[in-house]
Amino acid sequence: MNPIVFFAELKRRNVYKVAVAYAVVGWLGIQIAMEVFPFFEIPNWGVRLVVLLIIIGVLLLTGTWDHWMNHLRDWAGQDSGIGSGL
């Protein structure tokens, strides 16, 4: 696969925007956890759990993105049957 075509396809699908948004929200979640958890006397493993959940979320998002996009493409291409005549 041509890298130029690959990165153009990522840009067309707004993958860059989603990745940046997820990184910002993940970073914000980690920062909030690091500041708030000690106040409520939540142990340090709670912050580690938040980081782990964010990493798992990234893996699930990237693993299901292509499947989800193919599903949407198939769904949009199907004839809804409306106005097709009987």
Confidence at residue 26, expressed as pLDDT on a 0 to 100 scale: 92
Confidence at residue 85, expressed as pLDDT on a 0 to 100 scale: 47
This prediction's pTM: 0.64
Rounded-to-integer distance, Cα 47 and Cα 29, Å: 10
Rounded-to-integer distance, Cα 54 and Cα 81, Å: 41
Averages of pLDDT over runs of 10 residues in the chain (86 residues) are 82 82 92 93 93 89 71 62 47
**Tokens, residue 3:** 């890298």
Cβ atoms of 12 and 68 closer than 8 Å: no
Q: Which amino acid is at 48?
A: R
The residue ranges of every structural domain in the chain are 3-59
Rounded-to-integer distance, Cα 37 and Cα 57, Å: 21
